[in-house]
Amino acid sequence: MTTTAALGGGGDGELRGITVRLNGRTAVITGGSSGIGEATARRFVAEGAEVLIADLAFDRAQALAKELGDAAFAVACDVRREAEVAAVAKAALDRWGHVDILVNNAGSELNRTYDETTVEEWDRVLDTDLKGPWLMCKHIVPSMVQRGQGSVVNISSLNGLVGFPLSTAYGSAKGGLVVFTKDLAIELAATGVRINCVCPGVIQTPMMERWTALMPDQEEAKEMLRNTMPVGRMGRPDEIAGAILFFASDDSTLCQGSILSVDGGFVAQ
């Protein structure tokens, strides 16, 4: 039997009628308090899941969890630090006994030339965007393997597929995450655990706002970003959440190591 939930009034970004595809599932979402992570947490709860929102911005994560009700709780986490990642895994397993879905969404951006990038900046971006997903997998995936099921969704970027100026650190991390997804997918192929990757294009998120705030002409920068997308607009976080839901759900049971571009046609050019 198909179960549906009616949410919102059908305007842009609202969910009018959705199938509850994650009923009874549990999910850990890193960077889950804003942007794509927040949209994913909201969508997962609407689809019947319980979620752990792991975020460095703990107050914001707590506020979102409170809004989402009993289906959500928050844990402070810097994904660069193994002890904090291990604490997230413990919190999830103590509460639920297992984790069905892991969404590695936490990220750190940088727009700087290769020769002006400091070692500290390079390490921050690589540690957050690449080491962080590896640490989360290290501490959560073994319990999935033991159960013989689970889904990991890594959030890379358009920058992980094509080159851009001022993007050596960020692009290296996101490109590494694409290959990490493929490598781990082969390693896990016979275990029942799936790992796939979503590569968003230009999405209207707080990260994008921070980037445009650095530009001399913010409106010109936003117009340039809109024109990057062949569809003529930036994407919405909920549109990326829909792609993440696909990989998290049973709709993608044959996907293993798949890389999905959600970029308004950019890589199709």
Cite the active site residues.
170
What tokens were used for 198? 């979503």
Exposure string for 162-184, b = 16+ CB within 10 A, e = fewer: beeeebbbbbbbbbbbbebbbeb
Q: CA dihedral defined by 51, 52, 57, 60, rounded to 10 degrees?
A: 40
Chain centroid to CA 204: how far?
Answer: 14
Cβ proximity of 167 and 122 under 8 Å = no
